[in-house]
């Protein structure tokens, strides 16, 4: 009897120990503040709740960076971390925030669109909590987030998400997925408020081009591509052809489906007068299911023996060899495709052209690495550092 009680007490203590240790790790992840260095091009930083008052004070509110040229022109919005487990998006957005100088027009950037998702994780899949990008001054540490917002921040979780306003039935998880809750409403579930605020930003600021940056599995057909509805198709096609001809990488165009609701590349165009939406996907082997452990190394380098064997059987939708899909290639692609979409828009709309300087293209990011373009927060004036 004494022995059984002893074993029971030991099990209770062990369970509590595991809970305390993992609780501390989750707490540190949720509360880690990422320093974002605002470069010379940033003229002001506001909160997204400016466009939807209900967001104020919630875990979903997030920072918006405004880069403005001396000369008036067109306006572009970049949205990153719609899915916070697709980190090439925020890494690209930070390269623009830290380095871009706008000569003409306006560039608005939301680096952590699903702020709650960036503080959530996927324990069932054993995601790493953080990842680091090496720079010349040390390692820059990022939270590794999840695809969806945390249920801690948006509750209740319905069994089925009834999309607003189409009433299409979507998976219960999609009520926390900011690429299913477009166009949103000001008093809907929290993630609908996030997308509604972004819609209001686009309507109030007269955004011409909206680019939502993502990553996708190598086994998923909609990967390594630009997704565009009819109104953006010509620009997307020209951008895709130009990067292939001039920079040598593939990035095909996928049409935005008419009947699949809630996605940015569908609803932004349908619910705004003048905004042309684009969604960028770069290959992300980390998200494929048949891989080895979900390590930081797999996230950053995309090298996996199981995917290599599947590539030999022609089961992947992207070229894949021993070199994997390193982060610098994915971020380089995003940097080039974003700039090319803006160039193509500007060529067709000279009165609304947007001219950017200081942002690297594909080749330069691949040669110098992603970390080369980040500045040391220790050596930056504190007033130019924003925590998100
Ligand atoms: Zn995504």
Per-residue pLDDT tens over the stretch 136-184 = 999 999 999 999 999 999 998 999 999 999 999 999 999 999 999 999 9
Q: What is the mean pLDDT of residues 184-209?
A: 97
Centre of ligand 1 to C-alpha 180, Å, is: 10
- CB-based burial label for 101 (10 Å; 0-12, 13-18, 19+): middle
Record the tokens describing residue 23, joined without a space. 């609780």
Q: What is the CA radius of gyration of the chain?
A: 21
Centre of ligand 1 to C-alpha 87, Å, is: 10
In this predicted model, which residue has the larger pLDDT, 281 or 125?
A: 281
What is the band of 2 on the pLDDT scale with cuts at 50, 70, 90?
A: confident
* Residue appearing with tokens 């590539």: 311
pLDDT at residue number 232: 97
Q: What is the mean pLDDT of residues 4-9?
A: 92
Centre of ligand 1 to C-alpha 280, Å, is: 9
pLDDT at residue number 125: 86
List residues bridging with 342 in a β-sheet: none
**Which residues are in the CB-under-5-Å shell of ion ligand 1?**
83, 86, 214
Closest CA to 318 of 285, 366, 277: 285
Report the first-to-last Cα separation within the chain, whole angstroms. Answer: 54
Centre of ligand 1 to C-alpha 72, Å, is: 32
pLDDT digits (tens, 9 = 90+) for 19-64: 999 999 999 999 999 999 999 999 999 999 999 999 999 999 999 9
Evaluate if residue 230 carries a pLDDT over 80. Answer: yes
Centre of ligand 1 to C-alpha 145, Å, is: 12
Percent of the chain with pLDDT over 70: 100
Do residues 247 and 360 make contact, with C-beta atoms less than 8 angstroms apart? no
Centre of ligand 1 to C-alpha 282, Å, is: 9
Q: Is 109 helix (H, G, I), strand (E, B) or coil?
A: strand
Centre of ligand 1 to C-alpha 146, Å, is: 10
pLDDT at residue number 126: 87
Do residues 218 and 298 make contact, with C-beta atoms less than 8 angstroms apart? no
Do residues 226 and 279 make contact, with C-beta atoms less than 8 angstroms apart? yes
Centre of ligand 1 to C-alpha 249, Å, is: 21
Evaluate if residue 1 carries a pLDDT over 90. Answer: no
pLDDT at residue number 241: 98
Q: What is the mean pLDDT of residues 282-311?
A: 96
């Amino acid at each position: 009897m004494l022995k059984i009680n002893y074993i029971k007490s030991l099990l209770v203590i062990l369970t509590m120990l595991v809970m305390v240790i993992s609780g501390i790790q989750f707490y540190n992840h949720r509360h880690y503040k990422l320093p974002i260095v605002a470069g010379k091009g940033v003229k002001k930083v506001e909160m997204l709740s400016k466009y939807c008052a209900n967001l104020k004070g919630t875990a979903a509110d997030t920072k918006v960076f405004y880069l403005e040229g001396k000369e008036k022109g067109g306006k572009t919005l970049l949205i990153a971390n719609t899915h916070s487990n697709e980190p090439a998006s925020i890494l690209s957005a930070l390269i623009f925030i830290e380095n871009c100088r706008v000569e003409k027009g306006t560039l608005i950037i939301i680096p952590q669109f699903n702020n709650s998702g960036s503080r959530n994780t996927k324990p069932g899949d054993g995601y790493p909590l953080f990842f680091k990008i090496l720079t010349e001054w040390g390692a820059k540490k990022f939270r590794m987030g999840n695809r969806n917002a945390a249920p801690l921040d948006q509750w209740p979780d319905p069994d089925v998400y009834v999309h607003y306003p189409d009433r299409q039935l979507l998976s219960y998880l999609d009520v926390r997925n900011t690429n299913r809750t477009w166009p949103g409403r000001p008093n809907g579930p929290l993630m609908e408020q996030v997308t509604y605020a972004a819609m209001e930003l686009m309507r109030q600021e007269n955004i011409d081009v909206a680019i939502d940056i993502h990553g996708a599995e190598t086994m998923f057909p909609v990967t390594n591509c630009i997704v565009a509805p009819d109104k953006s198709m010509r620009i997307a096609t020209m951008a895709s052809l130009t990067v292939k001809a001039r920079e040598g990488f593939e990035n095909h165009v996928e049409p935005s489906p008419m009947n699949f609701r809630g996605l940015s590349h569908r609803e932004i165009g349908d619910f705004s007068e003048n905004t042309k939406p684009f969604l960028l996907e770069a290959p992300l082997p980390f998200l494929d299911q048949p891989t080895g452990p979900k390590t930081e190394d797999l996230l950053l380098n995309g090298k996996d023996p199981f995917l290599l064997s599947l590539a030999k059987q022609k089961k992947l939708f992207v070229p894949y060899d021993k070199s994997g899909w390193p982060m610098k290639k994915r971020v380089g692609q995003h940097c080039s495709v974003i700039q090319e979409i803006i160039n193509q828009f500007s060529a067709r709309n000279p009165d609304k052209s947007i001219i950017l300087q200081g942002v690297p293209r594909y080749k330069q990011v691949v040669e110098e690495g992603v970390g080369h373009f980040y500045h040391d927060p220790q050596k930056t004036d504190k007033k130019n550092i924003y925590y998100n």
